[in-house]
């Protein structure tokens, strides 16, 4: 076994796939996707090459934030199935070599959760301190608010008891008080419960909010959130040695470091690279690779057990909150000029293909880049077939329309009558008649096959996940040339062209051993020779991309 492919730190070179049970596949024909439907489609994911399935919330919910407003941490939304179905799903996935992680939302509960209902009965209620209360109205500035279209403060007055409760998200999602040992106990119990049912870890929702210290006026606070994050990590590792915590931490790189923990990595194992993702969009909008090159130079180097999660799109708005106002406007102008495509003044409620006018060259370049960077790629369902959003669905949910399986009725998602569908599918150019998994799997030139090939190429180079990145100098501004290197001596050069013009990229690879060749991993494994001093000229098409494994003179040929 190659050293980089060890199973303990499986997340270092996994392929994650995020899916929402509700919109994936409706097995019983009632219009809503279900756990049995998800189980039924595991073989599809297996064929695609996915090795870890991340399930969005499937717990009992008040249904005001697509399941992120939970009313019971220990159950399954009855519309989706039962705990028994869930265990079958995890068990079946495992038998196919697919791990399952689940969304862990414990920053807040729904206001319909029995704890909150009890807590708001009186100030002495036993559940009162499960939440964060203030006797006077705390200051809250509009810039603290996550959903400015609906909220103007992070605090809401509870009329009956005359105190304000904290809610970083909607007012129907009161924040839990994680300083309270009883809440901490519930957090451990919940994590332990799902681990016992077979999951391999958690995607931790809204981490900076979960671990934020919010000044309640008049309270002295000695709680150390990072120590508590370490406690959580220790707890889950005691229960399951190789469990993963993948955190949603959209903060600047420098601040991200502390969420990974100290030198011994006692925090999150993985974090999404929100900064890199936003810079990729800026680079695409400008046709200029320098923004992403700059971000990659600033990206912190991680300790060996930690990992970046690379992604192009997720289930939320495409957030551009870490760009400057003018940069964000550039991306808006390029990829979402219509105000209806924009959200909260910071993001776009679109998927990638329509943003790029359906130009497959650009779509492929973006995914090739995400897979070629040190880290672990995360796909959002439907990306593998180039699905678009359904703009008719309000807000962020536009990108969460049902999976398009076939060109038939309801895109093969459900046999229910259309009006009973949990969410409508898009019509027209990106509707299921034109974009669906069944047709693409039959056509080896399709986007699905491009993605499958990319996934397997990534999996065959497990060193990518363990590598560090360096940007190579070359004169073309539209091109990102980077090299990934791994301890064993393995290295791979990748080229990505953000521009519409083809070009020749001249590289000087003086660190490469004489007699090495470059093997084109994505294009027929052709071999390219370097001259004696390590110089090489490489063709790159418009929006082209290449992965070139450096094969030393002593190395076995790539099979």
Residues marked as catalytic? 205, 248
Q: How far is the CB of 171 from ligand GLC (least distance, A)?
A: 12
Per CB under 6 A, 166 contacts ligand GLC: no
Smaller CB separation from ligand GLC, 165 or 447: 165
Smaller CB separation from ligand GLC, 52 or 494: 52
Q: Put the strands of the sheet holding 479-485 in their side by side order.
A: 468-471, 479-485, 491-497, 545-551, 517-520, 527-529
Smaller CB separation from ligand GLC, 248 or 273: 248
Q: How many residues bind ligand GLC (CB under 6 A)?
A: 8
Contacts to ligand GLC from residues 233-272, by CB under 6 A:
248
Per CB under 6 A, 205 contacts ligand GLC: yes
| Burial of 297 from C-beta contacts in 10 A (0-12 / 13-18 / 19+) | exposed
Q: How far is the CB of 67 from ligand GLC (least distance, A)?
A: 9
Per CB under 6 A, 175 contacts ligand GLC: no
Q: How far is the CB of 169 from ligand GLC (least distance, A)?
A: 4
Distance, in Å, from the CA atom of 371 to the CA atom of 134, rounded to the nearest integer, reads 46
Per CB under 6 A, 316 contacts ligand GLC: yes
Smaller CB separation from ligand GLC, 115 or 547: 115
Per CB under 6 A, 105 contacts ligand GLC: yes
Contacts to ligand GLC from residues 39-78, by CB under 6 A:
65, 68
User: 466: Cβ–Cβ under 8 A, 6 or more apart, which residues?
Assistant: 4, 12, 13, 304, 374, 486, 487
CB 400 within 8 A of CB 66: yes
For residue 156, what is the DSSP state? E
What are the DSSP calls for 544-555, one per residue? -EEEEEEE-TTS
Q: How far is the CB of 451 from ligand GLC (least distance, A)?
A: 23
Rule CB under 6 A: choose which of 206, 425, 517, 538 binds ligand GLC: 206
User: 272: Cβ–Cβ under 8 A, 6 or more apart, which residues?
Assistant: 246, 247, 248, 249, 250, 308, 309, 311, 314, 378
Farthest CA pair distance, the chain: 80
Cα angle 494, 495, 497 (rounded to 5 degrees) comes to: 155
- Give the residue closest to ligand GLC by C-beta: 68
Nearest to 281 by CA among 358, 366, 351: 366
Q: How far is the CB of 91 from ligand GLC (least distance, A)?
A: 27
CB 382 within 8 A of CB 367: no
Q: Which residues of 524-548 are buried (b: 16+ CB within 10 A; e: fewer)?
A: eeeeeebeeeeebebebeebbbbbb
Smaller CB separation from ligand GLC, 68 or 332: 68
Per CB under 6 A, 19 contacts ligand GLC: no
Rule CB under 6 A: choose which of 116, 155, 169, 547 binds ligand GLC: 169
Per CB under 6 A, 348 contacts ligand GLC: no
DSSP helix/strand/coil, 319: strand
Per CB under 6 A, 448 contacts ligand GLC: no
Q: How far is the CB of 486 from ligand GLC (least distance, A)?
A: 32
| Binding region for ligand GLC (CB under 6 A) | 65, 68, 105, 169, 205-206, 248, 316
């Amino acid at each position: 076994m190659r050293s980089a492919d060890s199973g303990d730190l499986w997340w270092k070179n996994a392929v994650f796939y995020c899916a929402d049970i509700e919109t994936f596949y409706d097995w019983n024909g009632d219009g809503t996707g279900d756990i049995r439907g998800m189980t039924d489609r595991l073989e599809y994911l297996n064929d695609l090459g996915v090795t870890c399935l991340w399930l969005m919330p499937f717990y009992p919910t008040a249904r005001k934030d697509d399941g992120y407003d939970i009313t019971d941490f220990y159950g399954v939304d009855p519309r989706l199935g039962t705990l028994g179905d869930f265990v079958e799903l995890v068990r079946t996935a495992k038998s196919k070599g697919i791990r399952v992680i689940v969304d862990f939302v414990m920053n807040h509960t729904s206001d319909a959760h029995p704890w909150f209902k009890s807590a708001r009965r009186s100030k002495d209620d036993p559940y009162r301190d499960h939440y964060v209360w203030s006797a006077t109205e705390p200051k809250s500035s509009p810039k603290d608010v996550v959903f400015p279209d609906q909220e103007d403060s992070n605090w809401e007055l509870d009329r009956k008891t005359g105190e304000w409760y904290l809610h970083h998200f909607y007012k129907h999602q009161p924040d839990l008080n994680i300083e309270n040992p009883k809440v901490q106990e519930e957090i451990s119990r919940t994590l332990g419960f799902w681990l016992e049912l077979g999951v391999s870890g958690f995607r931790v929702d809204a981490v900076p909010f979960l671990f934020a210290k919010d000044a309640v006026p008049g309270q002295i606070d000695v709680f150390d959130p990072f120590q508590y994050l370490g406690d959580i990590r220790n707890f889950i590792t005691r229960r399951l040695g190789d469990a993963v915590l993948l955190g949603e931490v959209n903060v600047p790189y420098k601040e991200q470091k502390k969420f990974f923990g100290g030198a011994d990595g006692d925090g999150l194992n993985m974090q999404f690279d929100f900064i890199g993702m936003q810079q990729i969009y800026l680079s695409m909008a400008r046709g200029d690779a320098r923004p992403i090159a700059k971000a990659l130079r600033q990206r912190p180097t991680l300790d060996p057990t930690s990992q970046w999660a690379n992604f192009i799109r997720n289930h939320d708005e495409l957030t551009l909150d870490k760009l400057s106002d003018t940069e964000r406007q550039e991306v808006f102008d390029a990829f979402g000029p219509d105000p209806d495509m924009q959200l909260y003044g910071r993001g776009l409620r679109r998927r990638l293909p329509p943003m790029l006018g359906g130009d497959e060259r650009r779509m492929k370049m973006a995914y090739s880049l995400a897979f070629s960077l040190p880290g672990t790629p995360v796909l959002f369902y439907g990306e593998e077939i180039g699905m678009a959003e359904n703009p008719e669905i309000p807000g962020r949910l536009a990108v969460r329309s049902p999976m398009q399986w076939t060109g038939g009725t309801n895109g093969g998602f459900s046999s229910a009558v259309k009006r009973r569908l949990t969410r409508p599918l898009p019509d027209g150019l990106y509707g299921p008649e034109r974009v669906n998994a069944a047709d693409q799997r039959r056509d080896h030139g399709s986007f699905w096959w491009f993605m499958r090939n990319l996934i397997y190429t990534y999996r065959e180079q497990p060193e990518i996940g363990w590598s560090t990145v360096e940007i190579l100098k070359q004169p073309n501004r539209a091109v990102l040339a980077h090299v990934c290197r791994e301890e064993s001596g393995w290295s791979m050069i990748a080229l990505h062209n953000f521009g519409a013009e083809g070009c020749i990229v001249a590289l000087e690879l003086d660190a490469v051993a004489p007699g090495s060749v470059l093997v084109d991993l994505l294009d027929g494994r052709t071999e390219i020779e370097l001259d004696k001093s390590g110089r090489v000229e490489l063709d790159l098409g418009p929006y082209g991309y290449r992965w070139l494994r450096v094969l030393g003179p002593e190395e076995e040929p790539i099979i």
